[in-house]
Amino acid sequence: GQNIDQPTEMTATEGAIVQINCTYQTSGFNGLFWYQQHAGEAPTFLSYNVLDGLEEKGRFSSFLSRSKGYSYLLLKELQMKDSASYLCAVMDSNYQLIWGAGTKLIIKP
């Protein structure tokens, strides 16, 4: 079967750095997405990785290792508005998105 694993919940302090991990086992691989979802709202696109390495976009960076079936989302200079769930999703060989359940990130002052 296809599986995406992420921690259920993480807590971090405002101004700090946090890394949210995602491991996956899917039928084929056509890229990995990270989405942010605030409570009661729709997911919004953050990043996409298809090649190994780090993609940086402002305070957010995403890393991929295809050989390890592993990705992480790195959030720097945390702000209170970063409190949200972060969903990892992998596009499989059929170009379907397989979603993780999300990591709820709690930011404390």
Partner 1 sequence: DAMVIQNPRYQVTQFGKPVTLSCSQTLNHNVMYWYQQKSSQAPKLLFHYYDKDFNNEADTPDNFQSRRPNTSFCFLDIRSPGLGDAAMYLCATSRDTSGGVTQYFGPGTRLTVL
User: What is the contact surface with partner 1 in residues (CB under 8 A)?
Assistant: 4, 8, 30-31, 33, 40-45, 48, 50, 87, 91, 95-97, 99-102, 104
| Residue 46 burial class via C-beta count within 10 angstroms: exposed 0-12, middle 13-18, buried 19 and up | middle
d(CA 24, CA 22): 7
Choice between 9 and 14, CB closer to partner 1: 9
Choice between 13 and 93, CB closer to partner 1: 93
d(CA 36, CA 102): 9
Choice between 83 and 96, CB closer to partner 1: 96
Q: How far is the CB of 31 from partner 1 (least distance, A)?
A: 5
Q: How far is the CB of 81 from partner 1 (least distance, A)?
A: 17
d(CA 29, CA 77): 31
Q: How far is the CB of 13 from partner 1 (least distance, A)?
A: 23
Q: Within 10 Å of residue 7's Cβ, how many Cβ atoms?
A: 15
